[in-house]
Structure 1
Amino acid sequence: MGDTILLIEDEAPIADTIVYALAQEGFRCDWHRLGREGVAAVRPGSHALAILDVGLPDGSGFERCKEIRAICDLPVIFLTARGDEIDRVVGLEIGADDYVVKPFSPRELVARIKAILRRGRSTSAPAAVETGFVVDETKARISFDGQILDLTRYEFRILKTLLAEPERVFSRAQLMDRAWDEPLASYERSVDAHIKTLRAKLRTVLPDQDPIQTHRGFGYSFDPLKRT
């Protein structure tokens, strides 16, 4: 059998369908009805990905996602009956990799899982740049002026995209295409929110440097020489 997927879902018929679909594709499934039980099962390296129901009997799936991320950087797909924009934005902004609304196709869900896992396993050698940044894709982290940045999944992808092409102006839509699994299901204001938090994290390292530039009406770029 292949990778183990953590499933936290309180509805047995839905869980049974997912477990069966995963087994058909060679995955193991660690199913838990309650959020606290699922979080308790998480250890670094214990699971390849987590599927979380947003509406759990013992609390919000969003909060359980934060608890899991405090243990390890596990890819997360939210599963919910709710399709409101605010739920989707909240889920994506706390670092979820995807958001699937019930009813859904089990085959599509498995396809999304495979896509996330393939992307996470794509590796390249750590690349040092002259700007003070070091991008290490094998460990999914970026260092700035010798300090490892505490980045969310989407902050990492956005910053990596900007660093790869200094001074190129990326529109919000282009950044969403590079950073999100389902960019059409997200919203451009999410990019602005992630850029804001990225800037704040960079300022904690070098307060006088603001390398991410805003181009009003266009988007964002990385300018290694820009100072505040």
Structure 2
Amino acid sequence: MPSDKPQLLAVDDDPEILDLLRRGLAVEGFNVRIAANGKTALRTLKTSKIDVVVLDIMMPDLDGFEVVKKIRSTSDVPVLFLSARKQVRDRISGLDAGGDDYLPKPFVFAELVSRLRALLRRPGTQGVNLLTFAGIAVDTEARRVVRGSNVLDLTAKEFDLLVTFLNNPNRVLAREHLLESVWSFGSSASSNVVDVYVGYLRRKLEDNSGSRLIWTVRGIGYVLRGERA
């Protein structure tokens, strides 16, 4: 039976980045294929149905600009460049070559996921940028959070943490996964910062509501659910 999950191709010659993308995006609901170079990526695109591509620029055989030009000769699949090249001229070159978005490294995983979801919904209907759970409504485009009739004032990290939970309701998320998703890849932050920010988020979500939403799973991490299982 075919999967209804988005089919994603990650292309990078750094095995550590590929492993991060494979593991992290699978948790976020993507079926992930990987390619370590441009030629392998082009072969995969010819033989597999791919919904979105994450593409590095600096690779040994074909660079990302060459790859996306070849992709555009036969396909309009969305392509997001993920590259250590941060100059404005590099971003312009990537978009001019046929890319749809450009995210420089180091990157925040939650931002990558948000951008990928935005690319996937471009042909779709309005309203899919709204996440809801147990009376919480989050507009991911406007970065606005409402619970009941109250607009919640969240910091950027609190917002990204909440979106990560809302994308994975009723699923236990390890501290390490939350750290990778919300803080930059390669961040020096420890898992203790996750505990601190979960505490901040809990207080803002649960203030005056009397209901617990984020539960601690001892020795592992946290889970978003309406009541204790």
Equivalent-residue separation in structure 2 for 1:55 and 1:120 (angstroms):
30
| Other structure's SS at 1:103 match | coil
Q: Which residue among 101, 105, 109 is the counterpart of 1:106?
A: 109
Unpaired runs of 5+ residues, structure 1, are 124-228
Residues 52-84 of structure 1, C-alpha deviation per residue, up to 9 Å, x if partnerless? 100011121001001111221110000110111
Matching residue's letter, 2:45: V
Kept in 1: contact 2:7–2:31 (CA 8 A):
yes
Does residue 53 in structure 1 map to residue 56 in structure 2?
A: yes
Equivalent-residue separation in structure 2 for 1:45 and 1:10 (angstroms):
20
Q: Which residue among 2, 10, 16 is the counterpart of 1:13?
A: 16
Equivalent-residue separation in structure 2 for 1:103 and 1:44 (angstroms):
31
Matching residue's letter, 1:46: K
| Pairing 1:129-140 to 2, within 5 Å after superposition | none
How far is the alpha carbon of 1:94 from its aligned partner?
A: 2.2
Does residue 93 in structure 1 map to residue 96 in structure 2?
A: yes
Unpaired runs of 5+ residues, structure 2, are 127-229
The residue that corresponds to 2:183 in the other structure is none
Does residue 75 in structure 1 map to residue 73 in structure 2?
A: no
Matching residue's letter, 1:22: L
| Pairing 1:189-208 to 2, within 5 Å after superposition | none
The residue that corresponds to 1:40 in the other structure is 43
How far is the alpha carbon of 1:36 from its aligned partner?
A: 0.3
Kept in 1: contact 2:56–2:64 (CA 8 A):
yes
Does residue 121 in structure 1 map to residue 140 in structure 2?
A: no
Deviating 4+ runs (over 2 angstroms): 120-123
Paired positions, count: 123
Equivalent-residue separation in structure 2 for 1:108 and 1:21 (angstroms):
12
Equivalent-residue separation in structure 2 for 1:47 and 1:122 (angstroms):
20
Kept in 1: contact 2:7–2:32 (CA 8 A):
yes
Equivalent-residue separation in structure 2 for 1:3 and 1:66 (angstroms):
23
Q: 1:45 to 1:69 in 2, by over 3 A?
A: farther
Kept in 1: contact 2:72–2:98 (CA 8 A):
no
Root-mean-square deviation (CA, aligned residues, Å) is 1.7
The residue that corresponds to 1:219 in the other structure is none
Equivalent-residue separation in structure 2 for 1:70 and 1:7 (angstroms):
19
Kept in 2: contact 1:22–1:29 (CA 8 A):
yes
How far is the alpha carbon of 1:45 from its aligned partner?
A: 7.1
Equivalent-residue separation in structure 1 for 2:55 and 2:7 (angstroms):
14
Matching residue's letter, 1:54: I
How far is the alpha carbon of 1:44 from its aligned partner?
A: 8.3
The residue that corresponds to 2:34 in the other structure is 31
Q: 1:13 to 1:45 in 2, by over 3 A?
A: closer
